[in-house]
Structure 1
Amino acid sequence: MAMLSSSLVLGSIQLKNRIVMPPMATSKAEEGKITADLIQYYKEKSADEAIGLIIAEHSYVSMEGKASANQVSLAVDADMEGLKALTNAIHAHHTPVFAQINHAGSAAKAEITGFPPLAPSAVKHPRAKAEELPQAMNTEDLEKVISDFALAAGRAKEAGFDGVEIHSAHGYLLNQFYSPITNQRTDQYGGSLANRIRLHIQIIERIRQTVGGDYPLTLRLGVYDGLENGSTMDEAVQACVMFEKAGLDFIDLSGGLNGYLRPGHSEQGYFQDFSEAVKQQVKMPVLLTGGITEAQAAEALLQAQKADLIGIGRAILKDSKWAEKALNTIK
């Protein structure tokens, strides 16, 4: 049997294959609420029942962490009805779905959130066009963020999501703490790698207290900033080892401050050197995304021990039957 079509256990659930539809923002929510249009989108993507796991688009954990106007909310209990309708629609097609929870940090805009942007340090975001600096987070801000992530994870579980992914990639708040470019703190949350991922560990631990030990939990780590003085491969490996000890069931690797792309790379699976290095040092499964569009390329990455799961984003966005066709191709 091809590895792509083989099953895999993630915490308390078993995936039917190794194909993952990673989070992709649709901008179909309205004032944070799930819409009929959004439910229809996920119905279509899950309809052929060939995707092993869907990780839904990033949802904000608090209003001050909202990244865009039409983003999904997991920030208040009133969101629950729409979220349950969404998970029910996907589960009708026998496909598990995770929620991805996020805080935008300095990538947030005051005109959308109504709050001044918060960040690890008062440092301009590398992709920001405005010159206004974010506010450096204080102890109270940090405690609220830990609580907000845990409460959002609890809502996700109650709404029927099969697991939760913590977003620490693509230049959002936790990625800002991870990267030495945006984290210039001199307290226990800055400096060494252990300090820069202290907030991640505290969030993982608080979520575990909220959802229990058996509920699947993952984290998407932005392993490559593509900028001078950014985070390193060695740090990515060390961080993933520490995340595993803290209670993750698998790790999802992607880009950092510069987003999901890797400048200068167009090969399928363009973070594979990072995923291979991480996979050699952790026991938990590793999810690789990045420009993978062909079933043969996905299978080759698995066979070469570059990863355990393959994220197929843009190809599934373009073709909702991609997974079904891929599994038939590599039989």
Structure 2
Amino acid sequence: MSQLLNPLQAGSLVLNSRLIMPPMATSKAEPDGRVSPAILEYYREKSAGGYFSLIIIEHSFIQQAGKASGNQLSVAEDHVIDGLKELADIIRANGSKAVMQINHAGSAAAQEVTGTVPVGPSAVKNPRKGGVPHELTVPEIREVVAAFGAAAHRVKQAGFDGVEIHSAHGYFLNQFFSPLTNRRTDEYGGDVLGRIRIHLEVIAAVRAAVGEEFPILIRLGAADYTDGGTTAADSQIAAREFVKAGVRIIDISGGFSGYNNPESNEPGYFAPLSAAVKEVVDVPVILTGGITDAAAAERLLAQGKADLIGVGRAVMKDSQWAQKAIESLK
């Protein structure tokens, strides 16, 4: 029996296989972040046939100050809900579950995109982008936390099956998690528990906005692969706390290394991180990274490296990838 074709349940989210499409930015939204015909067509094509049990929509900004790039999707205002509903309906009609990823770029934002000075946990240079952000005050942090909650409410209103909080790839929440960018001396800094205080507040705000049954996922940049950055051991501590707070699935990726692992390009190159997190939590763990064939996905599942496998770049290149992979296993 194929491991990849086994069903899985995470809280109220029932998936018919272990194959998912992870979030990948397309820059196909309208300039103001509304859903465009191009976005609808892209996800219609990628979800055709329902070969992915779950499709996670690309990162979408929760407020203008957190917009990462031009033509990024928005979850920042109520007027985007109708377009997002159309997007969710297309994916669900094709047979896949749909989850929306919500994000704030923090110091990875650019003033020419947002119209405002980038913000972050500390006034230190962003390792990927180079700029020095405004260091957020505690009241300003609370405003961002509230914006995550409001965005999650819109995701639920639009008919999605769950919401994913983005804390990877050097974006806002990842900036709080990483000692490379979090030098705070208040309750939002210091040890791992201090650095994830904001994550737990975001999870609580999201939970309050969507109710007890709506699935919450988190994408965790589980290592920076840089001296002084986050490690797998940090992520084990963080993941345990996230699950206690109500997260139903943990989606593993890189921190300030982005979606790459500078130490490996093997299929499933984040497997050491997903395996480390899987050891300490009792919720499903997603592994992505360089997986381009069904045999590799099967092997990683059989080895217990993860519970769900995300295939991204291969699907971006070939919309028939998932169909061919599933059919090769039957």
TM-score normalised by structure 2 residue count: 0.98
Report what 2:182 is aligned to.
Answer: 183
In 1, are the aligned partners of 2:49 and 2:95 still within 8 Å (CA)? no
Distance 2:108 2:98 in 1: 26
Report what 2:40 is aligned to.
Answer: 39
Distance 1:141 1:66 in 2: 16
Report what 2:212 is aligned to.
Answer: 213
Distance 1:138 1:172 in 2: 18
Distance 1:205 1:128 in 2: 30
Report what 1:22 is aligned to.
Answer: 22
Distance 2:268 2:132 in 1: 34
Distance 1:19 1:322 in 2: 11
Report what 1:199 is aligned to.
Answer: 198
Q: Secondary structure at the match of 1:3?
A: coil
Distance 2:155 2:136 in 1: 26
Aligned positions of 1:204-243 closer than 5 A: 204-243=203-242
In 2, are the aligned partners of 1:48 and 1:321 still within 8 Å (CA)? no
Distance 1:67 1:277 in 2: 30
Distance 2:165 2:145 in 1: 11
Letter of the structure 1 residue corresponding to residue 11 of structure 2: G
Structure 1's unaligned 5+ residue stretches are none
In 1, are the aligned partners of 2:145 and 2:205 still within 8 Å (CA)? yes
TM-score normalised by structure 1 residue count: 0.98
Count matched residues: 329
Offset from partner CA, 1:5-51 (integer Å, 9 cap, x none) = 11111221211101110000000011101000110000000112111
Distance 2:10 2:84 in 1: 22
Letter of the structure 2 residue corresponding to residue 78 of structure 1: H
Report what 1:170 is aligned to.
Answer: 169
CA shift, 1:61, in A, is 0.3
Distance 2:41 2:253 in 1: 27
What is the RMSD computed on CA atoms of the aligned residues?
Answer: 0.8
Report what 2:245 is aligned to.
Answer: 246
CA shift, 1:330, in A, is 2.1
Q: Secondary structure at the match of 1:73?
A: coil
Offset from partner CA, 1:152-205 (integer Å, 9 cap, x none) = 000000001110000000000000000000000000000110000000001101
Report what 1:100 is aligned to.
Answer: 101
CA shift, 1:258, in A, is 2.0
Distance 1:281 1:256 in 2: 20
Are 2:13 and 1:13 aligned? yes
Letter of the structure 2 residue corresponding to residue 82 of structure 1: G
Aligned positions of 1:1-331 closer than 5 A: 1-30=1-30, 31-129=32-130, 132-331=131-330
Q: Percent identity?
A: 51
Letter of the structure 2 residue corresponding to residue 170 of structure 1: H
Once structures 1 and 2 are overlaid, which stretch shifts more, 26-35 or 320-329? 320-329
Q: Secondary structure at the match of 2:129?
A: coil
Distance 1:113 1:230 in 2: 27
Distance 1:278 1:37 in 2: 36
Once structures 1 and 2 are overlaid, which stretch shifts more, 101-110 or 220-229? 220-229
Distance 1:54 1:10 in 2: 15
Offset from partner CA, 1:118-141 (integer Å, 9 cap, x none) = 000001100124xx4210000121
CA shift, 1:209, in A, is 1.0
Letter of the structure 1 residue corresponding to residue 27 of structure 2: S
Offset from partner CA, 1:65-109 (integer Å, 9 cap, x none) = 000011000000011111111111111102111000000000001
Runs of 4+ displaced beyond 4 Å: none
Distance 2:210 2:242 in 1: 17
In 1, are the aligned partners of 2:225 and 2:231 still within 8 Å (CA)? no
